[in-house]
Amino acid sequence: MRKKKQNKKEEYIEVCPRCKSTNLTSIDYPNISSPMSLGTRCLDCGYEGPLIEVKNSKLVALRKTKKEKTKNKQEKNLGKFILNPIILVWSLVIIITLVLIVAIIISSSK
C-alpha cells in the first residue's frame, strides 16, 4: 500500500480502479529496458495498469459505492437468469399448442 502526500492536510492513497483495493504490488517487465518498465498489479483482481489516487478519507465511501454497484449488477443478472427459462417454457407451450391445433385441423379436414 503506497501513500502519497499531496499537501499537508490531505493524504492520498493509490487504489485499483477496478476493485478499489489497496492490495497492490510492483511488477517488473524484464524485456523492456526503460524507466517505465515497472508496473503495478492488484493482488485481489489481477488488474495491471495505471492506478487512481483517492483521498484517504474518501476510500471507505468509494468502496461502499463499488459494493453497491456490484450488488445491483448481480441482482439484475439474477433476474435475467430466472426470466429466461420462464420465457423458454412458455414459448414451448405455445409452439406445442399451435402444432396440436394444426394437426387437429388437418386430421378433421380429411
| Residue 32: per-residue pLDDT | 60
Domains of the chain, by residue range, sit at 3-109
| Residue 99: per-residue pLDDT | 96
Q: Is the pTM of this model over 0.75?
A: no
List of the chain residues with pLDDT < 70: 1-9, 29-38, 67, 69, 71-83, 110
DSSP-based three-state secondary structure for 46: coil
**Hey, which residues does 15 pair with through a beta bridge?**
52
How far apart, in whole angstroms, are the C-alpha atoms of residue 85 and residue 79? 11
Q: 35 and 8 in contact (C-beta within 8 Å)? A: no
| Residue 11: per-residue pLDDT | 85
